[in-house]
Chains A and B, each alone.
Chain A
Amino acid sequence: AQSVTQLGSHVSVSEGALVLLRCNYSSSVPPYLFWYVQYPNQGLQLLLKYTSAATLVKGINGFEAEFKKSETSFHLTKPSAHMSDAAEYFCAVSGSGNTGKLIFGQGTTLQVKP
């Protein structure tokens, strides 16, 4: 079984500051990990994904995440926050078994202050 825990339901940063959104996972099989962003009343947009290749994954809009097996973590970072980054962020996990289910964390609201 897989699960995801996002630490911090709300993160506030100043524009230009480092963004760090935390995600820890639990998986009985090698995981596939994802970060998605959601703007109000919209679907989900994929930021990046880890599928057992490079542990440092670069995504869109300057985001990246590092897979750390020893820490069961997949934290999302961005060196410099932009006002347009304010949104809801979800970490998700899928087992490499044959169910294909994508299990989401609770979500983190990112607020960017001018």
Chain B
Amino acid sequence: GAVVSQHPSWVICKSGTSVKIECRSLDFQATTMFWYRQFPKQSLMLMATSNEGSKATYEQGVEKDKFLINHASLTLSTLTVTSAHPEDSSFYICSAVSDFPRGYGYTFGSGTRLTVV
């Protein structure tokens, strides 16, 4: 079946540094990728939608300059948390869609636990 590889699984970084999270579709072409953020004991909140070769669409309230999303190819999307601060600590999950826009075929990465100290 469809597999999405997300790396790293966990990362600890110092406040003020940047962290890049990669999301790769291993056996299909992902026309669209979604990035979610999940706080402990809470649901997934959509941060942005990225389409290959175009700028990401951010949800209201998400800082574009802090959460840089790049979707340069049909198999790779990256999320860079710039100048990270402790409040950015969270669980980040990507999701790739192979049958867009029909609404099925979402495949999720295993998530990245970001801790900013």
Nearest residue (CB) in A for B10 is A41
Q: Considering the chains assembled together, what is the distance between the CA atoms of A109 and B6 in angstroms?
A: 25
Q: Considering the chains assembled together, what is the distance between the CA atoms of A79 and B22 in angstroms?
A: 39
Which listed residue, B32, B103, B113, touches A41 by the CB 8 Å rule? B113
Within 8 A of B (CB), among A55-114: 90, 94-107
Nearest residue (CB) in A for B4 is A43
Chain B residues, CB < 8 A from A44: 44, 93, 95, 108
Chain A: how many interface residues by the 8 Å CB criterion? Answer: 26
Known: A43-B109, A43-B110, A44-B108. A104 touches B103 (CB 8 A): no
Nearest residue (CB) in A for B9 is A41
Best-buried of A41, A90, A102, A103 by chain B (most CB within 10 Å): A102
Q: Mark B36-64 against chain A: 1 for CB-CB distance below 8 A, else 0.
A: 00000011101001000000000000000
Chain B residues, CB < 8 A from A106: 42-43
Q: Considering the chains assembled together, what is the distance between the CA atoms of A103 and B101 in angstroms?
A: 14
Docked-complex contact B44 and A43, CB < 8 angstroms = no
Q: Considering the chains assembled together, what is the distance between the CA atoms of A95 and B91 in angstroms?
A: 25
Nearest residue (CB) in A for B91 is A41
Nearest residue (CB) in B for A51 is B104
Nearest residue (CB) in A for B106 is A102
Give the distance to chain A from B51, nearest Cβ to Cβ, in Å: 9
Which listed residue, A43, A98, A99, touches B108 by the CB 8 Å rule? A43
Would you call A42 an interface residue if the criterion is a C-beta within 8 Å of the partner chain's C-beta atoms? yes
Docked-complex contact B44 and A96, CB < 8 angstroms = no
Chain A residues, CB < 8 A from B6: 43
Chain A residues, CB < 8 A from B104: 32, 49, 51
Nearest residue (CB) in B for A105 is B43
Q: Considering the chains assembled together, what is the distance between the CA atoms of A47 and B93 in angstroms?
A: 18
Chain A residues, CB < 8 A from B103: 32, 51, 94-96, 100, 102
| Chain B residues near A (Cβ < 8 Å) | 4, 6, 32, 34, 42-44, 46, 49, 91, 93, 95, 97, 100-104, 106, 108-111, 113
Nearest 8 Cβ contacts at the A-B interface: A32-B103, A94-B103, A43-B108, A43-B110, A44-B108, A98-B101, A104-B44, A100-B101
